[in-house]
């Protein structure tokens, strides 16, 4: 018996190696791999999308922008170049969903504080009242880290355009008022190629934890 095993030792070694590789590949094929969708306007609730882009089915990316943050600094696409980031829309006097959203964004800030690939970007939908000093006071109150999180204001038309044509995340307000917006609870995950990769309920703790996990996944993608 020993002589037979010795005689065919190379064959058994190759057979065992081949079996191990086959089992590994088979397991890999069956094991579901994590992936995140790439969202285009046609994939999203039409109520949240400007009619000009509602039927776009591919190659959608966040457009260039220019706003002013809580420190009076102009923030553009260059500040987010190659970054993963979470975008949302709010206003400082909101007493309904905004406090929860801001608290949860602060939790996300803690989770990403040491990740240089990730930032946050919050747009006010009431730029007429949310001036730079107002945003600064709000930032201090809520523990905003200026290096990670920009609260921005600017021209209402431009904010509206970004909300509905780029981030696909804000509903129309009163038809009687041009560029009126009703912000939603959506947190929008944007990847380093400026593509929308997810929408999350910013008032829901479980959704926020899922968002944090998806940020980590994109960071390693």
Which parts are annotated binding residues for Cu cation? 94, 98, 183
93, 125 in Cβ contact below 8 A? no
Apex 215 CA angle, 200 and 134, nearest 5: 65
109's CB contacts (< 8 A; 6+ apart) are: 120, 143, 144, 145, 148, 149
Structure tokens given for 133: 């000093």
Structure tokens given for 125: 């939908």
Task: State how far the Cα of 12 lies from the Cα of 60, in Å rounded to an integer.
Answer: 54
Helix (H) or strand (E) holding 84: strand 84-90
Task: State how far the Cα of 194 lies from the Cα of 130, in Å rounded to an integer.
Answer: 26
Q: Which residues are annotated as a binding site?
A: 94, 98, 183
């Amino acid at each position: 018996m020993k002589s037979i095993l010795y005689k065919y030792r190379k064959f058994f070694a190759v057979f065992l190696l081949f079996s191990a590789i086959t089992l590994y590949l088979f397991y890999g094929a069956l094991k579901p791999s994590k992936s995140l969708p790439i969202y285009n306007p046609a994939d999203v609730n039409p109520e949240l999308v400007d009619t000009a882009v509602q039927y776009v089915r591919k190659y959608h990316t966040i457009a260039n922008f220019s706003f002013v943050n809580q420190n009076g600094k102009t923030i553009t696409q260059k500040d987010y170049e190659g970054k993963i980031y979470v975008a949302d829309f709010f206003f400082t006097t909101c007493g309904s969903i905004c406090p929860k959203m801001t608290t949860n964004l602060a939790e996300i800030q803690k989770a990403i504080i040491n990740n240089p690939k990730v930032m946050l970007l919050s747009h006010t939908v009431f730029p007429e009242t949310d001036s730079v000093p107002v945003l600064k006071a709000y930032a201090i109150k809520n523990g905003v880290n200026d290096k990670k999180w920009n609260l921005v204001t600017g021209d209402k038309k431009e904010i509206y355009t970004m909300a509905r044509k780029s981030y696909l995340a804000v509903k129309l307000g009163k038809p009687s008022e041009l560029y009126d917006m009703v912000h939603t609870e959506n947190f929008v995950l944007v990847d380093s190629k400026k593509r929308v990769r997810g929408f999350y309920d910013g008032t829901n703790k479980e959704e926020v934890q899922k968002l944090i996990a998806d940020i980590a996944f994109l960071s390693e993608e």
